């Protein structure tokens, strides 16, 4: 697996774990009342902040582990050179990210449409907030999966 694939898989697993933890918490009895939008908004903001912090920590740990592996396998000088090239985003990686973002943004838009439809059908506003959050969560997961597939199976530049 390429370094891009490993980095993306790390990010994907942390994101999936974070989304699962939020879903389990939201379905428990200690979650805010269904009509308390302020409490739900604060809970979602705290969850997003925690998820971002976890992603940053996971990427730092991944890059430290990558540096240790490269240094142990190749020696200090060669390890530094390999690590530098592995951490540099090239044109191919940017193109793969853009291709994946096109699909992901469609899922985020679907979350917005679902939220509006729920509100139009008379569902509680908290359900619409969760539909919107779910759309963005699907966006992030789909982009990660597509980048992983594109990077490992190859993708055209068109």
* 3-class SS string, 9-66: HHHHHHHHHHHHHHHHHHHCCCCCCCCCHHHHHHHHHHHHHHHHHHHHHHHHHHHHHH
Residue-level pLDDT at 27: 85
Mean pLDDT by 10 residues, the chain (158 residues): 80 92 83 80 90 93 83 75 69 80 87 94 90 91 87 63
Phi, psi dihedrals of residue 154, rounded to the nearest 5°: 85, 145
What is the distance between the alpha carbons of residues 39 and 33, in angstroms, rounded to a whole number?
Answer: 8
Residue-level pLDDT at 158: 46
Quote the pTM value: 0.76
């Amino acid at each position: 697996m390429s370094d891009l694939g490993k980095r993306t898989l790390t990010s994907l697993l942390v994101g999936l774990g974070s989304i699962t933890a939020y879903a389990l918490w939201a379905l428990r009895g200690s979650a805010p009342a269904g009509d308390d939008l302020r409490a739900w908004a604060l809970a979602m903001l705290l969850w997003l902040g925690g998820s971002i912090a976890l992603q940053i920590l996971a990427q730092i740990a991944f890059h430290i582990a990558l540096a240790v592996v490269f240094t142990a396998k190749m020696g200090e000088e060669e390890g530094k050179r390999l690590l530098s090239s592995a951490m540099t985003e090239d044109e191919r990686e940017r193109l793969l990210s853009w291709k994946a973002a096109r699909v992901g943004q469609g899922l985020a838009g679907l979350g917005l449409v679902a939220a509006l439809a729920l509100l139009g059908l008379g569902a509680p506003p908290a359900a619409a907030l969760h539909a919107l959050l779910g759309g963005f969560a699907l966006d992030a997961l789909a982009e990660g999966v597509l980048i992983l597939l594109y990077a490992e199976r190859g993708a055209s530049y068109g």
